[in-house]
Every structure is written in structure tokens, then in C-alpha cells.
Amino acid sequence: MGLNKIRELKQAAGKSIGLRQGSDMAKLELKTLLDKYELIQIKFEELDAKIDILLDDIPGVPQMLAIKGVGRDTVAGFFAEVGDLNDYTHPRQIIKLAGLSLKENTSGKHKGKTTITKRSRKKLRALLFRVCMILVAKNSAFKALHAYYTQRSDNPLKKMQSIIALCNKLIRIFFSISKKQFEFKEEKMLKDIPHFSVEKKVEMAA
């Protein structure tokens, strides 16, 4: 491209107004989006405050939040899905609600794999899966129990099967805490591991 052509293009660009108009519209659109973002942030803050007020009125919530790896959003999401735990007489009802009940896939004489039902509350099931993954990483009791389930010599579970078992365990813990408002103790949960129970008995005997 020659020098004269470059000068012509520069002169034409200097007189162009299309880009200026487009720039003004882009700025207006950006301002609108920022205003929407600020409004959404305000609504989220109002919602957070409302959630805190509601959680304060639910028995057992402080004890649930004291469990390492369990956060406010988990507890709030759990109650949003299951409602008042006084409406349940046994944690198995919540396990069924979450679609975590085990079923055996059989056809005639063929005995298939045992899987979960995956019925009812999909969001509740997903929430429990997420928090149990966190618990396995951060909570020593859940981590130890997961290791036992997957590494025991007699009928070891696959990793996902173990997570399902831990989801059911967490439901039972939440249910019991809500009813009795006791403090969760990792040592008590570890008694579910046979070799840990034996070790504790030996320590006590000594």
C-alpha cells in the first residue's frame, strides 16, 4: 500500500462518525448492564440477610454449622429442600426424598447391580453429593470413613458408592442434631470403623 493511499484512509477515518455512534451505544449498553448487576447484588444481600434470620429460628443449625466442611449455604439448601424436620419420623424418609434409597436391578433370574433410585428431589441429591465431596477432603471423620468403605477387605465399595453411603450418613446426622441439638463429634462417628473401635478399646484398657 502506497503513502498516498495511507493518507487517504487516514483522512476518511477522521471524518467517519459510524464508530463514534457505535461507541456511544456500547457505553449506554455497558451502563445498563452495570446498573442491573448492582441491583442483583442488592437483592442477593437482602436474600442473604433473610436466610440468616430464617436459619436462626431453626433448632440445631448452629451445631450443623460447627461440623467442619459444612457451610451456611449447605444447611440453608438442605432445609429449603426438606422443609421442617419435625414432619419426618425417621431419616430414611429424607433418604427416600433425596432419591438415595438403594434398589436392585433384576430381570427374571438375572440379578443386576444395586443402584440408587434417583427419584424425587434432584437438587437435594446434588447438594448432598457436593457437600460430601468437601467433607471427604476437609473433615477427618468423613475422610477416614470414606477410606474404610473403599479399602476394607470385605465388600469394599467403589468411590461413588462410598459417597452415597456418606450422603445417607450426613442425612442421619442432620436429622439427629435437629431433634436433639447435640454437638457433632468426629470421634463418635469414627466408631463406625471396626479397627478404630478396637484401637480405642485397647487404649481404654491400657
Look at residue 117 in the predicted model and tell me its pLDDT: 57
The Cα 101–Cα 137 span in angstroms is: 24
Look at residue 29 in the predicted model and tell me its pLDDT: 87
- Cα torsion 140, 150, 137, 73: sign: negative
Half-sphere exposure of residue 206: CA atoms within 13 angstroms, side-chain side = 6
Low-confidence ranges of the chain (pLDDT < 50): 104-108, 110-112, 198-206
Residues contacting residue 169 through CB under 8 Å, at least 6 positions apart: 142, 145, 189
Look at residue 105 in the predicted model and tell me its pLDDT: 45
Place of cell 421442617: 84
Helix (H) or strand (E) holding 112: strand 110-116
